Copies of this chain bind each other. A is one copy, B any other.
Amino acid sequence: MISNKMKKLVANSSIIRAMFEEGKRLSAIHGEENVFDYSLGNPNVEPPESIKNEINKILNETTSKLVHGYMNNSGYEDVRSKIAQFINKEHNIDINSSNIVMTCGAAGGLNILLKTLLNPEDEVIVFAPFFGEYRNYVNNFDGKLVVVSTDINTFEPDMKVLKDKINNKTKAIIMNSPNNPTGTVYSEKVIQDLAKLLCEKEEELGTSIYLISDEPYREIVYDNAFVPYILKYYKNSFIGYSYSKSLSLPGERIGYVVANTKMDSFEDIMASLNVANRILGFVNAPSLFQRVIANCLETKVDVNIYKSNRDVLYNHLTKIGFKCVKPQGAFYLFIKTPIADDKKFCEEAKQFNLLIVPGSAFECPGHARLAYCISYEKIQNSLPAFDKLAELYGIK
């Protein structure tokens, strides 16, 4: 009785549920403390203490209609202004509230963007490996996902490969840096090359190609990695931002889309994002948390916790022979699997109570993702299990 589109998706979702159930099953047998679940990108770092204080302050000082009431579908004007001012200061650009639509996280943001941009059969390019939901989001609006492989040594886009995939049906490109699942941060050179290529292609094809940068991990970077702000590099650019990771508030669904003022059809697009927020059923980003994040723009979680996790895990895994590009951001390690069959590898890892996700889920087989947003202690306790896994494949 369910729609044809959903039938396939429900079948796929049972695979994710199966992994979750497997975790529960293993925990029941071996004890929760002996199961090492690296499968979920669920932040383990606490939200900053100031979140609670700000909520109390807002509830005590602001009239309830301006906390829990309806507002413009794009979000509270004063909240959008504060965010714009913060961005201007951080990145030395010049935007205002009209460049911003508050969204239900980055997922909500990407959906209203694609609703706005896509006609059926329009093409959207993504760089593999990529967050699997992009395929679903594009499919929601009958777009066609075009997967472009990346340089296997850096997981950065290769302009020569990309160039051949752009045609007059190319409506948008979704990039994601810091990247899930690789942890790669695209260099400024890559962003510059990408902007240059897109400008050339727009000129050649007489089309607009919108670059959407999905940036939930912008604040989660290590070793002073620089994350270029794409609005400064390319005219037809959007950023989908979320506070899910920067403030550890993934359940609250709060983020925004910011658009470059100079983009083609800027006013129509902003009007459409506003309407899309409404008609897709979001209506508006959750109201209390709009106010909360506006008061916490300078705040972020303690990134050093993730850095310690990265360091201990990366150092150990590479020491025992696993191959892996060192992540500069996010909280994922994307290892090369010692056998080509990544699903088999992840299946075999379960015998050591290790739950990790095959690269195939990110359309990059021969790899596996480890989400190290778990406790440091847990990671340390898991290292002997990785030793055994390495021994199994004779790589140690």
Residues of A near any B CB (own CB < 8 A): 1-6, 9-10, 13-14, 40, 42-44, 46-47, 51-52, 55-56, 59, 64-65, 67-71, 104-105, 107-112, 115-119, 133, 136-137, 139-141, 208, 248-253, 264-265, 268-269, 271-272, 274-276, 278-284, 286-289
Contacts and interface: CB of A to CB of B under 8 A. Distances in A.
Nearest to A288: B252
Contacts of A288: 251-252, 288-289
Contacts of A46: 64-65
6 contacts: A3-B272, A5-B119, A40-B70, A46-B64, A104-B281, A253-B287
A2 B133 contact: no
A141 B283 CA distance: 17
Copies of this chain present in the complex amount to: 2
B253 A282 contact: yes
Contact of A9 (B42, B139, B253, B279): B279
A56 B55 CA distance: 9
A22 to B, nearest CB: 16
Minimum-distance CB pairs A-B, first 7: A251-B287, A111-B281, A1-B265, A136-B279, A107-B281, A108-B281, A286-B286
A43 B3 CA distance: 35
Given A2-B116, A47-B64, A280-B140, A69 B55 contact: no
A119 B3 contact: yes
Contacts of A117: 1-3
Given A59-B52, A251-B69, A288-B251, A2 B272 contact: yes
A283 B116 contact: no
A275 to B, nearest CB: 5
Given A67-B251, A252-B68, A252-B286, A6 B281 contact: no
A251 B68 contact: yes
Contacts of A9: 272, 275, 279
A208 B3 CA distance: 13
